[in-house]
Chains A and B, each alone.
Chain A
Amino acid sequence: MRGTRRKQEGRWAWRLTGFVTVCVYIFMFAPIVATVILSFNASMFGGFPMTGFSLQWYGKLMANEAVLAAFRTSLWIALVTAIVTTAIGVTTAFALVRFDFRGKQALSTLVILPALVPETILGVGLLVLIKAVDQPRTMLLLVLGHILLAVPYVVLIAQARMIGIRRVYEEAALSLGASRFSSFREITLPLLIPAVVGGALLAFTISFDNTSASLFWRPAGVETMPTQILSMLKISISPEINALGTVMILVTVGIPLIGGLILQSLTKLRRRGEPKEETQ
């Protein structure tokens, strides 16, 4: 008797857990789904019920020069941020894991700091600094700001991977005659590739997505995608914004997803390729 009761209790606990989980997912994804669905709504007014299917808002978007300019700006900034951040992040992680030097603890804390400070405060802080040294807000400042925001995440990813790469690989390479640079290039870096790609994709999305700090840092007249959406929202909630939101979702979710898939298939191909070649 007792056994079956316990079993029933267990079943109820599972059902409750499942219910709560589903609720959480609905809460998280419903707004996103609504945005995507409404972007295809024919009605002028962004809201349910839908009056018909239409791609007109995407058409409008493509014709909107301001939106296109903002998209291009964001894309460029995100690309540069991804490249520079990855280079900085990977070398910093390498140094932090492999070498002992004075101030190592301080450096590792400092590098992570931008991720801990609220973005708005960081945004204001950098702005105040720029004003203090009497410099104009330029694109360079905006890019530097984004790099600052993304570096901690890349360092953390690369560090985690770096710790997993045993030092003997580098020692073996050195003993075989490779210089320190060559052994990094030929041994350490290829083993770090998953972290390099992952870090770059994350840096890209962090930059592409960033709103609050960009609001402070962008030069006069320059809009990034998120700031463009914000300023459009000030005027009206048009279905065009839903379309724009859908594009944003596609880029920020799609790029890491595609990157991850490519990386996975690449490593799989290589692994599968080996025994095949042997039989030839």
Chain B
Amino acid sequence: MPESQGTKLHPRPVPAGAAGASAAAEANSPAVEFRDIDIAYGKFVAVRDFSLSIRKGSFVTLLGPSGCGKTTILRSIAGLVDISGGQIMIDGRRVDDVPIYKRNIGLVFQSYALFPHKNVFDNVAFGLKYRNVPKPEIARKVGKALEMVRLPGSEKKLPSQLSGGQQQRIALARAIVFEPQVLLLDEPLSALDANMREEMRVEIKKIQKETGITAIFVTHDQEEALSMSDRIVVMNAGAVEQIGTPEEVYETPATAFVADFLGKANMLAGTVSRSGQAVVLATGQTINVACPRPLGDGSKVTVVVRPQKFSVGAGTSVNRLTGRVVSASYLGGSAIYEIDIGGKTSLRANAPINGRVLREGETADLGFDPEGCVLLDEDGQRIS
């Protein structure tokens, strides 16, 4: 492929007068950069036009339902999946043609993938061995990595003698011990039970901070994504829906998909009135909204309200809706209500308990402020 050879010689436009600036460029270049990636299996396009730049030392999560292409992207960084178009750069170096074993990435699998016939030491030492690290140095580094995952002294054990959580810790140690440029985590918590999952969440995040390694994490679990990430890339059907900090994607979802996938927001259809200061809902009520720009009266919008934005009972909120409680679940500090506001529409509210928990069939007063709403246009895109 002569064409790709040509681009390899000049990986990126070098600024004028920047002689010997490649080292400096490398220091500033993103840890991983995707440029218009397409990935297709035959006629099925798994990922299209994916672009993303990941800063060094950051923790980025690819979040989406199964089949959205998030794992495919992760595997493309590792070199386990061939891309059909675009470029992938690791530390400013184009890696499209670099075989997996020369990419210097750490990979953690959902199923741990510890070598069953090798003990913990040999598993963790595997990557170092292939980097020609001298033996005493290997022993020291393996010991340090095992301490980091809080399993010191487990060198002689076989994977089959460890619990699921311990195996995943060893897998993590194996992936970081040779100080790879990027750490890729493919749903590493999905195979663990609920308690262990929460513990490992904290642990992975802590280790990532301590080592300063760039981490790319794939999950379909929004809680994991929100609690661990510096940035979240929400994906659907092979394309990016939104990129932002956890607060950004949660508080200001860019699309209807993001609003629904993250936290099951309430979506109320309506039409604009009073030049975008109010919305007449399909159910008949009128609510005040804070629209960032003037909108034509009569245009169709969707009002997105998070369940947590509602207060239930008497309150001082600007918008008030009345409905009948369909179901109530008591969570201790708060309660989740499903409230029928008429017009075959029910809302989910997660509100602190005000006095007592309402029972099914009772009338509930819902209150929320215009600032707690996000407006989406007819195409499901956020109006900003």
Which residues of chain A have a CB within 8 Å of any CB of chain B? Answer: 166, 168-169, 171-180, 182-183, 187, 190-191, 271, 274-275, 277-278
Q: How far is the CB of B187 from chain A (nearest CB, A)?
A: 12
Contacts A274-B156, A274-B158; A173 near B80 (Cβ below 8 A):
no
B residues less than 8 Å from A271 (CB atoms): 158
B100 at the interface (CB under 8 A from A): yes
Cα–Cα distance between A171 and B171 once the two chains are bound (Å): 13
B130 partner residues in chain A, CB cutoff 8 A: 176-178, 182
Contacts of A190 in B (CB 8 A): 117
Nearest Cβ in chain A — how far from B110, in angstroms? Answer: 9
Please indicate the chain A residues that have their CB under 8 angstroms from the CB of B104 in the complex. Answer: 177
Which residues of B, 99-130, contact A by the 8 Å Cβ criterion? 99-107, 109, 111, 113-117, 119, 126-127, 130
20 intermolecular pairs with C-beta atoms under 8 Å apart: A169-B113, A171-B113, A172-B114, A172-B115, A175-B105, A175-B106, A176-B101, A176-B130, A176-B174, A177-B101, A177-B102, A177-B127, A178-B130, A179-B101, A183-B101, A190-B117, A191-B116, A274-B119, A274-B157, A277-B156
B111 and A177 within 8 A (CB): no
Closest to A273 in B: B156
CB distance from A250 to the nearest CB of B (A): 33
CA gap between A168 and B110 in the complex, in Å: 10
In the assembled complex, which residues on chain B have CB atoms less than 8 Å from the CB atom of A179?
101
Give the CA-CA distance A169 to B114 in the complex, in Å: 7
- Minimum Cβ distance to chain B for residue A43 (Å): 55
- Rounded to whole angstroms, the CA-CA distance of A183 and B80 in the bound complex is 14
The listed residue (B107, B117, B126, B175) touching A191 by CB distance below 8 A is B117
Question: Told that A173-B115, A175-B107, A177-B131 touch, could you supply 16 new A-B pairs with CB distance under 8 A?
Answer: A169-B116, A171-B113, A172-B107, A172-B109, A173-B126, A174-B99, A174-B101, A175-B78, A175-B103, A176-B107, A176-B178, A177-B101, A177-B178, A187-B115, A191-B117, A278-B157
Chain A residue at smallest Cβ distance from B130 = A177
Q: How many chain B residues have a CB neighbour from A under 8 Å?
A: 31
Complex CA distance for A191 and B118, rounded to whole angstroms: 10
Residues of B within 8 A of A180 (CB): 101
Tell me the bound Cα distance from A175 to B117 in angstroms: 18
- Chain B residues packing against A (C-beta within 8 Å): 78-80, 99-107, 109, 111, 113-117, 119, 126-127, 130-131, 156-158, 161, 174-175, 178
The answer to whether B113 touches A172, judged by C-beta atoms less than 8 angstroms apart, is yes
CA distance A274 to B111 in the complex (A): 23
A/B pair count, beta carbons within 8 Å: 71
On chain B, the residues within 8 Å of A274 by CB distance are 119, 156-158, 161
Whether B100 contacts A174 by the Cβ 8 Å rule is yes
How distant is A145 from chain B, measured CB to nearest CB, in Å? 36
Min Cβ gap A167→B in Å is: 9
- A174 to B161 Cα, complex, angstroms: 24
In the bound complex, what is the Cα–Cα distance between A173 and B80 (angstroms)?
A: 12
Instruction: State the CA gap A17–B291 with chains docked (Å).
Output: 84
The chain A residue sitting closest to B119, CB to CB, is A274
Cα(A89)–Cα(B119), bound, Å: 29
Are the CB atoms of B101 and A168 closer together than 8 Å? no
Residues of the B chain whose Cβ atoms lie less than 8 Å from the Cβ of A178: 101, 126, 130
CB distance from A27 to the nearest CB of B (A): 43
Give the CA-CA distance A30 to B147 in the complex, in Å.
Answer: 64
- The interface residues of chain A lying within 8 Å CB-to-CB of B156 are 274, 277-278
Q: How far is the CA of A179 from the CA of B100 in the complex (A)?
A: 9
Contact of B101 with A169 in the complex, beta carbons under 8 Å:
no
In the complex the two chains form, what is the Cα distance from A178 to B174 in whole Å? 13
A172 to B161, CA, bound (A): 20
**Within the assembled complex, what's the spacing in Å between the Cα atoms of A278 and B101?**
32
Q: Which of A166, A191, A275, A277 contacts B111 (CB 8 A)?
A: A166
